[in-house]
Structure 1
């Protein structure tokens, strides 16, 4: 991240009459239509663009929140008017920064109180500092460009990342016309890079935990290398008004989550929270651990190889939750669905153990990847290939 004093920004917002904008006429995607609906209801204000003007301070500067963070400076950041993706806590925009394509992830929180916002930003900076250090020591961890004070009154700063032309791992594999064996082989290479990154993260003292491993959080570089992104973003202390608790996307996340995260049976990293008197107190946060990362890693392997979400046969997230707590795991894909080699299936099912202590660590998973027969010369994969040929 670039160092120095925070710049002052002017954020140009749409005029009030733009609330009547026709999403169809604008050619908006379904996600953008949803965002327009939220905006029309006064729930979200989409930042159209941010201009480094040097005249008007951002509202959060006046609130003193930027003492905790480093901001992009001497840069011109321009955003698309509507997000291309919406999650339970963020709106994700395409943009341009100094002539380069970027992705800007803007957290919500118009009405968040000052103390909660400070706690969020303080924790955000701590997680970003760990993420920044990790990028300096491991090639399979995606760098980020910094934070930018983009957003509506009372919002938290937006995270700016480089945009990769090949997108995330799931989309990268889906776009290509690969045979069953080719997809399995490339998925294994991607998974090996992720496992290598986890080896580094989990070997730190204390261990660094990602918290949200899935295909969409693995980017593909211009050279085809997998890059793990959004490190530590899962364990931020989200205020209630930053989250759409009942959103489909939020519920769908459980497909990659370890069962102990759902029932709260494990105790993970502590989270800091600022009390009313301004002192910091510790609370148990989202109980992510290296073991929960490995569970998600196993589900991500399944996702990449099959091109389908884990538990894809379960339409509703509540059914997935019930399966998880009962120890039910995804069935081995049929030959028609591509199949999975015997060796890979052993790794996946080991990662899905109900007891986190019984799951392998990242180093073990990475080492097993070199065992012969995991993809090549596997009778199950050969049968799957023949099944595809006769479809």
Structure 2
């Protein structure tokens, strides 16, 4: 199924209309289900045109959401699918279609390929020796080219973490969850938002949080490509050190406080690969407080390739 076969955009409401795959999907008993703070992912079989394909069905369903919240989420999801369906690249997970909501599933589902290797972080922990992390982090599809391809598509990811970089059967990194940050941002300032942010907050650019000394009611953050570069530095830190940003702060509320104080993560106390000063310097460049002074995607790519030559020489 190609994008042109499953997608067209109505002029009336600018909502996407993808192929409704509901009748072609089955979920086997005991099949994998991944439950996160703001979404559930179901492993299903797609029976279509005499073929069977293992797929993922993702439904945005924040914990504690009211029926009104779900309705708002559904409207935002339908709009943000426009972003996803318009992206065609070998390092982006393809959207195959959607499923309709019903009494068991109150939100629309997004159908995409199932990635058996899971996300980047689980893949590194479970299948890669520590010594291979350097090689993996330097691979262009893992690091800078991920940000570069997003920016070249004129789209800001806005929620780049190791959890939404998936690894396909060929070991290639594939990006997912475009537009998710703007959907969740609809709940900014609510208790639902506090429960939904979770670990993604640790990768978030500090300028997306109101400064401690300012009135948050007048704060109007803007996503930029520099936000993705900040997150790229955080992903690089986690890959190399095995520690998430702000590893020494257990409470996400205190992480949010550190961001409002414009405090960047501490350097992990580790003798692993991140103890190389060259990498720590690169990560700190990505975390510069002034977004305009951070590397752009091309500069970040060039810097990582330079580091690869130095360290692996």
Residue 163 (structure 1) shift: 1.0
Residue in structure 1 matched with residue 60 of structure 2 by the alignment: 107
* Gap change, CA 1:67 and 1:128, over 3 Å in 2: closer
SS in 2 for 1:140: coil
Q: Tell me how far apart the structure 1 counterparts of residues 130 and 284 of structure 2 sit (CA, whole Å).
A: 24
* Gap change, CA 1:106 and 1:154, over 3 Å in 2: closer
SS in 2 for 1:88: coil
Residue in structure 1 matched with residue 27 of structure 2 by the alignment: 79
* Gap change, CA 1:166 and 1:285, over 3 Å in 2: farther
8 Å Cα contact 1:88-1:243 kept in structure 2: no
8 Å Cα contact 1:75-1:97 kept in structure 2: no
TM-score when normalising by structure 1: 0.64
Residue in structure 1 matched with residue 125 of structure 2 by the alignment: 174
Q: 1:356 aligns with which of 291, 296, 311?
A: 291
Q: 1:236 aligns with which of 183, 187, 191?
A: 183
List aligned pairs for 1:1-391, cutoff 5 A.
Answer: 1=3, 2-3=5-6, 68-73=16-21, 75-79=23-27, 84-98=33-47, 99-108=52-61, 111-112=67-68, 117=71, 120-121=73-74, 123-135=76-88, 138-152=89-103, 155-180=106-131, 182-189=132-139, 192-204=141-153, 207-236=154-183, 244-247=192-195, 250-263=197-210, 287-372=222-307, 373-377=309-313
SS in 2 for 1:328: coil
* Gap change, CA 1:161 and 1:110, over 3 Å in 2: farther
Count of residue pairs the alignment pairs up = 290
* Gap change, CA 1:237 and 1:348, over 3 Å in 2: closer
* Unaligned segments of structure 1, at least 5 residues: 6-63, 266-283, 378-391
Q: Tell me how far apart the structure 1 counterparts of residues 106 and 14 of structure 2 sit (CA, whole Å).
A: 12
TM-score when normalising by structure 2: 0.79
SS in 2 for 1:112: helix
* Gap change, CA 1:330 and 1:3, over 3 Å in 2: closer
8 Å Cα contact 1:140-1:193 kept in structure 2: no
* Unaligned segments of structure 2, at least 5 residues: 213-218
8 Å Cα contact 2:211-2:262 kept in structure 1: no
* Gap change, CA 1:79 and 1:339, over 3 Å in 2: same
* Gap change, CA 1:220 and 1:154, over 3 Å in 2: closer
SS in 1 for 2:42: strand
8 Å Cα contact 1:148-1:159 kept in structure 2: yes
SS in 1 for 2:209: helix
Q: Tell me how far apart the structure 1 counterparts of residues 283 and 144 of structure 2 sit (CA, whole Å).
A: 13
Q: Tell me how far apart the structure 1 counterparts of residues 192 and 22 of structure 2 sit (CA, whole Å).
A: 34
Q: Tell me how far apart the structure 1 counterparts of residues 230 and 247 of structure 2 sit (CA, whole Å).
A: 17
Residue 299 (structure 1) shift: 0.4
Q: Tell which deviates more after alignment, 368-377 or 155-164.
A: 368-377
* Gap change, CA 1:120 and 1:71, over 3 Å in 2: farther
C-alpha RMSD over aligned residues: 3.3
C-alpha offsets along residues 99-130 of structure 1, whole Å, 9 cap, x if unaligned?
A: 322221112366228xx84x655543443233
Residue 193 (structure 1) shift: 4.0
8 Å Cα contact 1:341-1:374 kept in structure 2: no
* Gap change, CA 1:345 and 1:4, over 3 Å in 2: closer
SS in 1 for 2:200: helix
